Structure 1
Amino acid sequence: MAPYLHLNLATWLFTQLLLLLLLFRNADCGHIVKTLPGFPGELPFKLESGYIGVEQSELYYIFVESTGHPRTDPLLLYLVGGPGCSGFNGFFYQTGPLAFNDSHYNGGLPELYLRPYAWTKTASIIFLDAPVGTGFSYANDPEGLVVSDTSSARQTYKFLRKWLAEHPQYMDIRIFIASDSYSGIVAPIIVQYILDDNAAGVKPHLKLIGLISGSPHQGIELEANAEIEVAYRLGLIGNRLYQRARESCKGQYFSVDSSNKGCEEALGQIDELLNDIYLENVLGPKCVTNSPKPDEDETQSGRRRIRSLQGEKARRFSGLSFPQWWCKNSAYALSYAWANNETVKEALRIREGTVEKWYRCNLVIEELYNHDIASAFSYQKNFTKTDLQVLLYTGDHDLVVPHLATEQWLRALNITTEYSWRPWFVDGQVAGYKIIYQSYSYRLTYLTVKGSGHSPTEYYNKKSYEMFARWIHFYPV
């Protein structure tokens, strides 16, 4: 046999061996789930559950393929806030295809039903448990649980590259990084990693199109200052008190000089007025929940509360006692009953002995987490020089990430406004207001969702879906 034939045969055998190794690796990392406990019959969509090893971490994900046009619909990497809140929060309560039936829950395994306005109708979505220690993600070394904004972003970026290598059929599909609440800090860092590596010629080239962020956290001080402004405009603070606070504090309400007694006194009165307000949605009832730690932290001066960006200190459940079905938060309790069920963990192929108990939001991770990026504004500013497409949306009744804070840093980008404060519509009714910014090939669409609190996808599924479906397919919102 000629030498070149030997070479071709060896090359062919080597290629087949690599393919077999990839198949075996996929079998370990990703498992196709046909049925889920609580849902009647076979799932009408493709669901994959699995792990990807990154550094010292094993990051858990669930992937849902688009039920529309999966070969052309975009791929979203979806990150939830906290930090430390599971991707299940996005899957069940925000944009995923299933939801819990809480209308007549009496205990046991919760029932599931199809969400009519799931984003997976027109996009494939990876719901990721990040940072490590969130949900079913775990660290091979306890030291690996100590993460930060930058290290979490780095690990998540590595996860995406490895996941795409394991799923090459999605490599040529448009990619968006999507985030909710606190992940508005982390997502831009991931986008920057992709831009830098694409520019450096790292292969494979990722077909990144843009960034999507709901209730995007940008900075605690910025949002604390805007909280009082929005609360005043919503009628929660009287004009005389507001003017006194504004004059004595000079518009800076987060960090106050202890010698400024007038400001300190005004802020104390404002705190009393807002104490019984549900900060995530001022129109909703403030609920009593089971929480493993106090409901709030205090700043060093003790004057201003540090708001949890995901609102988790008012939203965590350690058990199912005292369900309050009139309260929106009560539905979160069902996720604990479902995710910690042994038949559920078996169906999802959760690795035994890795996570003792699943938490929707892991308080331990929050305690270990290092907030080393105070603001992602510099990343957002840098994006204006690219061809990225960006969608930001906020609720106009949210005091956790007030819409005025978002609008303030958007103005600071100093780019051309194509459309300024025009209504957008769903079913012929005003759904909110929009501003569109344009800078050469860069385009940013900002929308408010009328009547919504924190994380609009949880409050208005249809509005959020209409917004997303139009924007993602380049139709006017």
Structure 2
Amino acid sequence: MFCSLLIILLVITSHDVTASQSVLVKSLPGFPGDLPFKLETGYVSVGDFDEVQLFYYFIESERNPKDDPLLLWLTGGPGCSAFSGLVYEIGPLSFDPGKSTGNLPNLKLNPYSWTKVASIIFLDAPVGTGFSYASTAEGYNITDTLSAKETFTFLCKWLMSRPKFLQNPLYIGGDSYSGIQVPIIVQIISDYNDDERGPPMNLKGYLLGNPVTDIHKDKNTRIPFAHLKSLLSDELYEATKIHCKEEYLHVDPNNALCINDLQVVNECLQNINLAQILEPSCSVEIWKSRQNPTAVAMDSDDLLPWPHRYPEPWCRSYIYLSSYIWANDKTVQNALHVREGTIKEWVRCNKSLSYVYDVPSSLIYHRNLVKKGYRVLIYSGDHDMVIPYLGTHAWIEALNLTLVDDWQPWFVNGQVAGYSTGYKYKKCQLTFATVKGGGHTAPEYKPEECLAMIYRWLAFYPL
């Protein structure tokens, strides 16, 4: 409905209904020379009165932008900037550890960028994320469903102002908390296409990595996952399973046996890095015990020093710190054409959003969408305990689709890169894949394998 109205306005008036700003960025501080790919940044206004300004980074496919798929990518959180997905996961740039120009971390090319096979819009959503902002206090009040509607509006306006991409195969993707957002957005697009009130979006499907789907069910699989990975003994796991009746979150306070077992479980797991159980846990307590003359605030639960050289143990959070230094630099913001004075400070993940979680489970959307005939890729790093693959595989099985491919390994460079299984329902095709050794946001840990995965899936090849 909105897209149809937008087209009418474009025809009958010269008013800039997109209320957007976009620029071509040819170079960036910290990167030597001109960028060898096409980067566009800008804002698109959404909301009832255009009070919300959503910031985006758009990178054209480095292969064939005329025909390659268009991917709208959302980072999780909610509140984690699209720049995190761009520079740490699937974009063409990454930070060069330990190297800097003046006070700025250096950037280098990522040889495993998904822009090798697709054009990607990295969107700072919801409002309050990254460089996105609102002109009114009310504009910052956001919910799951409202954020999805604003993202749909963004995509409508963006495509209407760039009609050459209307025919490209369109996919909506994201990871982590985007597992709630993406299915809602896809449902809205699907309903819009069914209304036939304007030029349809060429929606082909969606993809999700380590996705939040049902918050309770996702978290409830952490204990079975921990046992599977030998973090809990057989005896402790079996006792906890029996005493808690396989419910580890909503525990009866009068169930003393269950509570006692969970206390022991917590002692076993408290120093484990949930995002990747094989990597060091860099907690506040660990770093408070070290000399820390210069602390930089990162995510609200992390305080880490900026070292001249990385101390042992190495922590992934040091690389995250590079984004804070880089994105808050004025020369960087000028290069990106960020509107001056619109945000106080850039943070990788904004945990102070005025956000209402009004969709506790996106499973109902998945059930609706598989009936529509879309292609679906769900993948999970198999060492992620934030959203364990056990829970993800369980809800996929609960969709009661027809199994067409049994659990089997997939390979990169002759080595097992993970395991996959395939399902179908009429025209719908759903692939579930694990990424061996991957953590939460699998491409961050296994970039080469994940590029191979997305290349094959987009090309309709078996993994």
TM value normalised by structure 1: 0.88
Aligned partners of 1:211, 1:285: CA distance in 2, in Å? 33
Contact preservation (8 Å) 2:44, 2:154 = yes
* Residues 318, 232 of structure 1: alpha-carbon distance in 2 compared, 3 angstrom cutoff: closer
Cα deviation, 1:416-464, whole Å, max 9, x if unaligned, reads: 0101211000001110000100111000000000111111010000000
Cα deviation, 1:94-142, whole Å, max 9, x if unaligned, reads: 0000001113459711111110000001100000000000000001111
* Correspondences of 1:183-202 after superposition (within 5 Å): 183-202=178-197
Q: Percent identity?
A: 44
- 1:46 pairs with one of 38, 43, 52: 38
Structure 2 residue 344 is the aligned partner of structure 1 residue 356:
yes
State the match for 2:411 in structure 1: 425
Aligned partners of 1:286, 1:360: CA distance in 2, in Å? 19
Give the aligned residue type for 2:90.
Answer: T
TM-aligned CA deviation for residue 149 of structure 1: 0.6
- 2:226 pairs with one of 217, 231, 238: 231
* Residues 96, 387 of structure 1: alpha-carbon distance in 2 compared, 3 angstrom cutoff: same
State the match for 1:305 in structure 2: none
State the match for 1:398 in structure 2: 384
TM-aligned CA deviation for residue 224 of structure 1: 2.0
Contact preservation (8 Å) 2:408, 2:421 = yes
Structure 2 residue 33 is the aligned partner of structure 1 residue 61:
no
State the match for 1:37 in structure 2: 29
Aligned partners of 2:129, 2:156: CA distance in 1, in Å? 20
Deviates more, 1:356-365 or 1:399-408: 356-365
Give the aligned residue type for 2:252.
Answer: D
Contact preservation (8 Å) 2:304, 2:318 = no
- 1:460 pairs with one of 417, 423, 446: 446
State the match for 1:415 in structure 2: 401
Aligned partners of 1:384, 1:94: CA distance in 2, in Å? 27
Structure 2 residue 103 is the aligned partner of structure 1 residue 108:
yes
Cα deviation, 1:239-261, whole Å, max 9, x if unaligned, reads: 11111100000111010000100
Contact preservation (8 Å) 1:319, 1:336 = no
TM-aligned CA deviation for residue 204 of structure 1: 2.1
Contact preservation (8 Å) 2:405, 2:421 = yes
Aligned partners of 1:290, 1:219: CA distance in 2, in Å? 31
TM-aligned CA deviation for residue 219 of structure 1: 1.8
* Residues 139, 201 of structure 1: alpha-carbon distance in 2 compared, 3 angstrom cutoff: same
Structure 2 residue 244 is the aligned partner of structure 1 residue 244:
no
- Alignment partner of 1:343: what SS? helix
Give the aligned residue type for 1:43.
Answer: L
* Residues 386, 378 of structure 1: alpha-carbon distance in 2 compared, 3 angstrom cutoff: same
Structure 2 residue 385 is the aligned partner of structure 1 residue 385:
no
Give the aligned residue type for 1:341.
Answer: D
* Residues 231, 312 of structure 1: alpha-carbon distance in 2 compared, 3 angstrom cutoff: farther
CA RMSD, 1 decimal: 2.2
TM-aligned CA deviation for residue 356 of structure 1: 1.6
Aligned partners of 1:154, 1:319: CA distance in 2, in Å? 39
State the match for 1:177 in structure 2: 172
Give the aligned residue type for 1:350.
Answer: V
Cα deviation, 1:287-335, whole Å, max 9, x if unaligned, reads: 13599xxxxxxxxxxxxxxxxxxx9666x56874798561112100000
State the match for 2:357 in structure 1: 371
* Residues 191, 345 of structure 1: alpha-carbon distance in 2 compared, 3 angstrom cutoff: same
* Correspondences of 1:41-440 after superposition (within 5 Å): 41-55=33-47, 56-105=51-100, 108-288=103-283, 316=302, 320=306, 324=310, 326-365=314-353, 368-440=354-426
Structure 2 gap segments, 5+ residues each: 1-8, 287-297
State the match for 1:9 in structure 2: none
Structure 1 gap segments, 5+ residues each: 1-13, 292-310
Contact preservation (8 Å) 1:90, 1:127 = yes
- Alignment partner of 2:356: what SS? coil
TM-aligned CA deviation for residue 383 of structure 1: 1.3
Contact preservation (8 Å) 1:290, 1:319 = no
Query: Which structure has the bigger radius of gyration?
Result: 1
TM value normalised by structure 2: 0.91
Superposed structure 1 runs of 4+ greater than 6 Å apart = 14-18
Contact preservation (8 Å) 2:30, 2:100 = no
* Residues 41, 290 of structure 1: alpha-carbon distance in 2 compared, 3 angstrom cutoff: farther
Contact preservation (8 Å) 1:290, 1:318 = no
Contact preservation (8 Å) 1:32, 1:47 = yes
- Alignment partner of 1:76: what SS? strand
- Alignment partner of 1:213: what SS? strand
Contact preservation (8 Å) 1:323, 1:330 = no
